[in-house]
Amino acid sequence: MRTTSKVWTYEDYLRLGEEERCEIIEGELYPMPGASRKHQEVALELAITFRSYLKSKDLGKLHISPFDLILSEENVVQPDLVVVLKENLSVVKEKGIFGTPDLVVEIVSPSSLKKDTEDKRRLYASYGVKEFWLAFPEERVIEVFSLEGTEYKVYSWAYEEGQVCSKLLEGFCVRLEEVFSD
């Protein structure tokens, strides 16, 4: 649903000010509501796990929201977690990531379901993000998608218990019991 007939750009986004959390997808402005406690807890657990792995292997950097991912003038988003591998760190600047990261994690809230599972999935695939994770705190599910050609295919998933693993980060797995602890 378009908020106005205006096509929003990164330049417009910069004029909004830091207190207004929004994203732009295909020129459409989407306000971002505050995150729930569960959302924040899942984000923290995943961030700790990803950062620890990346740092121990010296593979790259993890960035957490709010940190802008600028894919183009009309596509500016704030994924919950973004991984940029060492060989691609040139896309990381002081004010955001300007280009395609290697891996993106979205923590899905009821209010962001369509945007995260459909709109952003299409967006990330079209810009060549190699791996895309969806975490559903309410359902206690994590799905890991790997980019094959121009589409994401399920690589790993788990419900309530067990683990999911990354195709991109060899040997990296996450136990759901640790992410979704109560």
Q: What is the pLDDT of residues 136-173, one digit of tens each?
A: 999 999 999 999 999 999 999 999 999 999 999 999 99
Predicted local confidence at residue 4, as pLDDT: 53
- CA–CA gap between residue 17 and residue 135 (Å, rounded): 29
Q: Which residues, 6 or more positions from 43, have their beta carbon under 8 angstroms from its beta carbon?
A: 35, 64, 65, 80, 81, 107
Say if CB 133 and CB 104 are below 8 A apart: yes
Rounded CA-CA distance 141/50 in Å is 17
Per-residue pLDDT of 81-135, as tens digits, reads 999 999 999 999 999 999 999 999 999 988 889 999 999 999 999 999 999 999 9
- Grade residue 34 by pLDDT with cuts at 50, 70 and 90: confident
Q: How confident is the model at residue 1 (pLDDT cuts 50, 70, 90)?
A: very low
* Domains of the chain and CATH, by start: 35-179 (3.90.1570.10)
pTM of the predicted structure, to 2 decimals: 0.93
Distance CA 171, CA 12 (A): 41
Q: Read off the pLDDT band of 21 (50, 70, 90).
A: confident
Alpha carbon of 115 to those of 1, 23, 50, 86, 158: distances in Å? Answer: 11, 10, 24, 29, 22
